[in-house]
């Protein structure tokens, strides 16, 4: 199935950065900046300090509803990255920014003094890894991202057999190097199943539809008018390599070149006074 093969190819590049925030450029233009950060590096002391120091009162109210440490780490990291970007690149005062989910518009908005600023953002997180996509624009841009840990314990095979479209299943089978007369669930590769899932999740965010409405539909047909970029990412944590799949879908083109790297992996510590960054 050659027309679906492109969805399983690696169409993202990764570069690491020890400084955070990354140095600003003179002209951002219509460029989607994507950042990946391991929030597991935040310890209990930092979680408490950062929540008090970096979160707006409205964000703190939401943060304190998250009882699991990993959920708190992911929430903190995403908000710090978004607000630092808006402060450094767009000139806003960090302390006056806050990020909230708009249930009516079904997306995140960044606010400055109760006004939505011209910054489109979309986030995803899995197993402590936090993916943040940012685009300064006043246009109604479609943008969706998804990041999923490729778990060896949690199988998507039963979900795929029950919910995935027939063409999606065939495309997953085509990714298997050798398929004999075995049942479908034995032949399907986990990485291919997760790729379909990240595409569906990213698409749902881009077109602002619940994933439940799209799960049975052919994601390849939906993605046809959009720019789609996906890849697998190996994260090293405590000497263990963990695989993730991620997808980005937008009506803004992303190009593979050195000047516009898709994924900026933030390796530095979130330990400076980010509110002073302008």
Q: pTM for this one?
A: 0.90
- Please give the CATH superfamily to which domain 2-273 belongs: 4'-phosphopantetheinyl transferase domain (3.90.470.20)
> Judging by beta carbons within 10 Å of its beta carbon (0-12, 13-18, 19+), is residue 146 exposed, middle or buried?
buried
Written as one string, the DSSP assignment of 136-167 is E-SS---EEEEEEE--SSS--HHHHHHHS-HH
Residue among 201, 200, 171, 199 at smallest CA distance from 184:
171
Could you report the per-residue pLDDT of 173-191, keeping only the tens digit for each?
888 754 444 444 445 688 9
Q: Report domain extents, the chain.
A: 2-273
DSSP letter string, 214-241: HTTS-HHHHHTTSEEEEEEEEEEETTEE
Q: Could you give the CA distance from residue 263 to residue 235 in angstroms, rounded to a whole number?
A: 13
CA-CA distance, 253 to 142, in Å (whole number)?
Answer: 11
Mean pLDDT confidence for 76-90: 95
| Range with the poorest average pLDDT among 14-23, 173-182, 220-229, 257-266 | 173-182
pLDDT tens, 241-255? 899 999 999 998 875
CB atoms within 10 A of CB 89: 19
Is residue 278 within 8 A of residue 91, CB to CB? The reply is: yes
């Amino acid at each position: 199935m050659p027309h679906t093969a492109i969805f399983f190819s690696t169409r993202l590049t990764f570069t690491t950065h020890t400084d955070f925030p990354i140095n600003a450029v003179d002209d951002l233009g219509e460029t989607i900046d994507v950042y990946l950060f391991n929030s597991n590096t935040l310890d209990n002391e930092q979680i408490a300090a950062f929540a008090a120091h970096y979160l707006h009162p409205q964000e703190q109210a939401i943060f304190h509803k998250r009882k699991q440490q990993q959920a708190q780490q992911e929430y903190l990291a995403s908000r710090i990255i978004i607000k630092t970007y808006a402060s450094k690149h767009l000139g806003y005062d960090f302390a006056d920014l806050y990020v909230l989910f708009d249930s009516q518009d079904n997306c995140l908005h960044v606010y400055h003094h109760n006004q939505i600023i011209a910054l489109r953002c979309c986030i995803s997180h899995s197993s402590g890894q936090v993916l943040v996509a940012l685009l300064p624009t006043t246009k109604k841009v479609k943008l969706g991202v998804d990041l999923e840990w490729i778990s060896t314990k949690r199988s998507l095979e039963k979900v795929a057999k029950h919910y995935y479209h027939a063409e999606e299943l065939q495309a997953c089978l085509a990714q298997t190097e050798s398929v004999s007369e075995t049942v479908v669930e034995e032949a399907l590769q986990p990485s291919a199943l997760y790729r379909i899932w990240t595409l569906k999740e990213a698409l749902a965010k881009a077109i602002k539809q619940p994933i439940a409405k799209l799960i049975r539909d052919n994601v390849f047909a939906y993605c046809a008018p959009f720019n789609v970029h996906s890849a697998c990412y190996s994260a090293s944590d405590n000497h263990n390599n963990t695989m993730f799949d991620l997808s980005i879908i937008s009506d803004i083109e992303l190009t593979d070149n050195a000047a516009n790297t898709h994924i900026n992996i933030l390796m530095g510590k979130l330990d400076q006074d980010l509110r002073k960054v302008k």
